A and B are shown apart, each in its own frame.
Chain A
């Protein structure tokens, strides 16, 4: 013992020095300094990287192509990450000194939360003022400005907004089997029975990816009594409100009556449910306005191909109002947020060029027209509307009026979707949805548990 202790005494300083050096070196990597770089680079040249979970690769390429026409000396490289993998990738990337120059953030807690990653972004207020003038706030959709402002700082520029509450149908499948999209519970049930007889899945929901269950539950709740769900999110009514209990009961009934596909609790919205719909295996899916992009020939072809179909053939996709499952007549509710915003990494070595790109896509007429025409988002610049003459829809006669109505209805909505939902509350809603669906809790029990969890959330 004595011998070993003498050896330690002799070697300890050396070992400690090595340990400290290693610790300091690693601390430099992991510490996550948030200091803004002083060298902002050139505003109209350079190479910048953009990371996001949305848009898909094809729309992103279209945006970048348009941007290159205005700024040919700025090269933008887009890296698309999965929805579930985005946070795992962006957090260490932003903590390092080699993260992306531009990155997606979103309101709420679903992924890329501006509340979490906003600290890594520069304030874009001066850039927007320069682009749109002092009255810039009056030109942009308030939903995008308010929800992406953190601690008085405009952390990201909204590219556009998205709304959920609609159901998308494969009109070609409905026509093939002589069926009509359902408008109420009984019709929905009989349509699903008919599809099942013909070996087609009716309505697919990736109930394992619980964030999307929230969309369906909010739609049901709004059908029972509009606005109660949003009030519960706002803590103005408890989650045990009869409207929400009834909504959970109807949600359970969708499973029991086989309106939901078999095994929905083991299926994810992306890729499973999306792929089932895109490959023509399912006739209906719960998706929002972001699905408008698949109404175009290019968007539809790419999505069908992405679903694993060897020879993709576009089909007519149409949005319909969520069926009147409660029999109240309260249909057509939409709820939404800014879809995603572009934030500029404060550690970027090309802050000026990155700001140019974010500002161009979020505020310029050309950038926002590209966004509007791709139909992935409803443009943030309120003066921009999709240029229907230049958009090549799969079935313009059927789709254009439906899309115009969807955009118009969305513009009238002020109900939030995910922007006010914390990660913990989202988990709790997810647990309520799956325990009820699996029969492990009654709607009353699940609502009580949800309320009790919500009360504990800071």
Chain B
């Protein structure tokens, strides 16, 4: 029996012989620093420096322009924990994430599955579903404000199809303003969910699907038992993006409702803006920003950890 030596995963590879004329540094390994220097400066300078600077500002009582800010230590953080608007914004973020992620996932998954079958004008549907993703919220906000206004198109339509009793000032009520914000978000980002699921479904082995059908599995069973687990990594990625996106939500609520009425559509992003710019409490706003960063990282870690644990369980 001929024994062959195949490289083992994780085994250290032998270093290739040095090429003639190839300069080597100490230890025979080239320094990577010059190669990564531009990116390093960019990343460290623009991102991490800003985080550190924001962290420093969060310890100040400062209006953003005064040359004499006052150091207050961690007082801003203490005040935030007692701030009802902060907790309101957190609660809105949680509800917003759960609702928009669930609805977007359901619609995106179903659309992707449908458009993987032979649908007439499939390409047109794909464009229609994806088009809202590329439209800027700033462009669409006035349209939605008009549409959901008390004398807007939605109420007009309801009045003209005999559902006038459902008409209401959608953006003027705490109970309906948040659902409108969620609706706009779902409308805007379901296309992205759809595209990612569509691509992920294309990676599922057709033979597995065929085998399932040969065994008599129905469409629903195939979707539930083969396709859904097959796109699991996409779902995890979307969940992670959803958590971060929910925490960063700003443009739609700010442009459509200014976070109102009565803070009913206030998110951390809109609250940071409200506190830092119109109210000029830049130190407090910076502390909120640091908490937002921590929450975003925690959210992403929790989603990733849970996904890894499930992966581990399913592979046992």
Contacts and interface: CB of A to CB of B under 8 A. Distances in A.
Nearest to A86: B277
A79 to B, nearest CB: 18
A119 B65 CA distance: 8
Most buried by A among B37, B40, B177, B277: B277
A436 B315 CA distance: 58
B150 interface: yes
A2 interface: no
A434 interface: yes
B257 A208 contact: yes
B299 interface: no
A332 interface: no
Interface in B44-95: 44-46, 48-50, 52-53, 63-67
Interface in B255-296: 257-258, 260-262, 273, 277-280
Contacts of A209: 258
A26 interface: yes
Contacts of B258: 208-209, 268
B173 interface: yes
A26 B54 CA distance: 13
A306 to B, nearest CB: 14
A262 B169 contact: yes
Most buried by B among A19, A266, A431: A266
Contact of B262 (A32, A113, A440): A440
A264 B45 CA distance: 46
Given A19-B44, A116-B64, A438-B261, A266 B170 contact: yes
Contacts of B262: 431, 434-435, 438, 440
Given A261-B150, A263-B172, A119 B277 contact: no
A34 B40 CA distance: 31
Contact of A440 (B174, B257, B273): B174
B157 to A, nearest CB: 16
A109 B279 CA distance: 8
Contacts of B280: 87, 109, 113, 116, 423
B261 A208 contact: yes
Contact of B279 (A117, A119, A423): A423
Interface string A241-271: 0000000000000000000011111111000
A94 interface: yes
Q: Interface size for chain B: under 10, 10 to 19, 20 to 34, or 35 or more residues?
A: 35 or more
Nearest to A109: B280
A297 B38 CA distance: 58
A18 B40 contact: yes
A272 B144 CA distance: 13
Chain B CB within 10 Å, residue with most, of A22, A117, A272: A22
A31 to B, nearest CB: 10
A232 B131 CA distance: 53
Interface residues of A, number: 48
A167 B61 CA distance: 40
B37 A267 contact: no
A423 B92 CA distance: 25
B149 A91 contact: no
Nearest to B263: A431
Interface string A1-42: 000000000010011001101110111001010100000000
A201 B151 contact: yes
Contacts of A265: 169, 171-173, 260-261
Nearest to B52: A23
Contacts of B63: 116
A266 B150 contact: yes
Contacts of B211: none
B41 interface: yes
Contacts of B41: 18, 21-22
A30 B53 CA distance: 9
B121 interface: no
Given A11-B33, A434-B262, A435-B262, A120 B65 contact: yes
Interface in B149-185: 149-151, 169-174, 177
Contacts of A455: none
A111 interface: yes
B277 A266 contact: no
A384 to B, nearest CB: 33
Given A26-B45, A265-B261, A438-B262, A32 B65 contact: yes
A266 B172 contact: yes
A120 B66 CA distance: 9
Most buried by B among A30, A32, A91, A111: A91
Interface of A: 11, 14-15, 18-19, 21-23, 25-27, 30, 32, 34, 84, 87-88, 91, 94-95, 109, 111, 113, 116-117, 119-120, 201, 207-209, 261-268, 272, 423-424, 427, 431, 434-435, 438, 440
14 contacts: A19-B49, A22-B44, A26-B45, A26-B53, A30-B53, A32-B65, A208-B171, A263-B172, A266-B148, A268-B258, A434-B260, A435-B262, A438-B261, A438-B262
The 3 closest A-B pairs by CB, nearest first: A263-B150, A263-B169, A266-B171
